Structure 1
């Protein structure tokens, strides 16, 4: 049976201290559900979720931690297909609320009202998870992305200093693909190894957003070999700031950074159990070139704790 890939969000806000979520109504089906839609060709799940939310609700959102994925059977041209929809909690950051596509109404409802109005039982798991996160104090998070530089020219084909080795064609495509992905999480602060293959991985995002790219020698392979403590220092500084950030480095440096994040997972928080699994997997298998680990964090400094995590591979797309 064929699989249809889709993504969506639960846009949320607070009014008079009360949590509200946005449901959409489709007149074609006369149903109430979450903003969602199919992945375009070559699109990643998070990018699709942000795009579909804007197209269906007119709202701009910043992705928070992931919510339960749902699967169900739908009609397709070949008969039946399994539809897989991945969801995120999404804090509203702007937008005019203008309705387009097949949506004729967006309703902001409190949790109990939303559960009653949802048409499909399979949409309730996301609402339950959102409410649980809110109750545990882990709904409001900020993202810290750990990125391995995109694919570069091989060492054997490069005669100059290794730190000057540039991205190849595939690497440049990966760097371009990172622009909408990082934008979906509202990344603001950019920190990178000064090696060309690392800084050029984040350069397109810096250009697109007008952000400043901060180059730190301690994140390079050469700098890490001289003083391994510097890489951890740069990570700690980002944790102190608590600003949505991306740190780009190299394969030999990443295990130290990932293990530092692993130590920040709070086992007392239910979402933290999933976060630990994701980060442990990255710690053991590493990140592919151009792949990003997104840690969702509550608090700052010594009190910063990872409550959810996800990884996105440049080939993990529709």
Structure 2
């Protein structure tokens, strides 16, 4: 008999110690009066959320800090009550806004502290949280914390191709697709996406538009990413050139394309295209690639449905 699982997510937020050397790091921990424990910020996935969004939301609710996700750390699954299982996914993260020192204590969280990394294991109350700390230390030693972030998105649901008689590149999103595009906003925000690039097809640009409008950022349209049957390139080289430009950005970047082109797009950063071919992304699905110096450090996949 399968036991029900409570899906949760959290993040270990880190920073260089103020006034210290670049190797002196601190991590953000919280104290819960109900359990009288020190732990890593985390919480339960709400209806309609994907776990990266949960992780960022919980960090903000529990610490007052808005976080940007970096590489994933690990997933833990354990019994938190008789017959009840919990699965928690954790990310490394950095603070982009907010002041933990100004957090107002409440009945859920009555203490928030930046703790030296060297002392965090003793402060934490549970071995499971120490496992998160160990995963973070491994990512730190491997240099993965400095990885760049690339998100490759399949466009949201569009109007049916067979019912569209006008310019193929002008085929718009359906009502469902517009909802999917709006749903992408918090997910792109969770990774702090700053640069937006897209096929020149309207349905691709419209997939990124809600997030771009929120940030007041432009979307760079690139015909090299168009679907071949709509005038896009048949060969891989133009796609590779377009993606190489995206990869070159230091700040997180998202690129939106078409299902037939996605494997080529991912190959540029070293992702096995056969995996995408075997299990294609759904509409508005995405792959997150954390890469550094031409090497993939971590890959995530998020299917919003």
Work out whether the TM-score is over 0.5.
yes
Aligned to 1:92: 95
For the 8 Å contact 1:2–1:82, the answer to whether it is kept is yes
**2: CA distance, partners of 1:212 / 1:8:** 31
Q: Distance in 2 between matches of 1:173 and 1:136?
A: 39
2:67, 2:190 within 8 Å by CA — same for their partners in 1?
yes
Aligned partners of 1:66, 1:99: CA distance in 2, in Å?
A: 29
1:7 aligns with 2:13: no
Once the 2 structures are TM-superposed, how far is the Cα of residue 73 of structure 1 from its aligned partner?
Answer: 1.7
Counterpart of 1:173 in structure 2 is: 179
Q: In the TM superposition, what is the alpha-carbon distance from 1:229 to its structure 2 partner?
A: 2.1
- Structure-2 residue corresponding to 1:267: none
**Which position in structure 1 is the counterpart of 2:250?**
242
Structure 2 alignment gaps of length 5 or more:
none
Mean Cα displacement is larger for which, 97-106 or 146-155? Answer: 97-106
Q: Structure 1 residue 309 and structure 2 residue 299: aligned?
A: yes
Higher mean Cα deviation, 159-168 or 204-213? 159-168
> What's the TM-score once normalised by structure 2's chain length?
0.91
Q: CA deviation at 1:87?
A: 0.7
Cα offsets for 1:25-67 (capped at 9, x unmatched):
0011001111011111111100010010001001111100111
Residue 218 of structure 1 aligns to a residue in which SS?
helix
Q: How far did residue 122 of structure 1 move?
A: 1.3
**Contact 1:218 1:227 (8 Å CA) reproduced:** no
Most deviating of 195-204 and 118-127: 118-127
| 2:83 aligned with 1:64 | no
Q: Distance in 2 between matches of 1:41 and 1:227?
A: 42
State the 1:251 CA deviation: 1.1
Q: Structure 1 residue 283: deviation in Å?
A: 4.9
CA distance in 2, matches of 1:135, 1:225: 41
* Cα distance change of structure 1 residues 171 and 4 upon mapping to structure 2, 3 Å threshold: same
CA distance in 1, matches of 2:27, 2:161: 50
For residue 183 of structure 1, the aligned residue among 166, 178, 189 is 189
Question: Which residue of 1 is the match for residue 26 of structure 2?
Answer: 20
Which digits, 9 at most, give the CA deviation of each residue in 1:250-281, with x for residues without a partner?
A: 01111111122226xxxxxxxxxxxx7xx763
Task: Provide the TM-score with structure 1 as the length reference.
Answer: 0.88
> What is the match of residue 292 of structure 1?
286
- The CA RMSD measured in Å over matched residues stands at 1.7
Higher mean C-alpha displacement, 203-212 vs 218-227: 218-227
2:188 is aligned with 1:153: no
Distance 1:257 1:182, change over 3 A: same
Structure 1 CA distance for aligned equivalents of residues 80 and 263 of structure 2: 42
Instruction: Give the Cα–Cα distance (whole angstroms) in 1 for the partners of residues 182 and 267 of structure 2.
Output: 28
Aligned length: 294
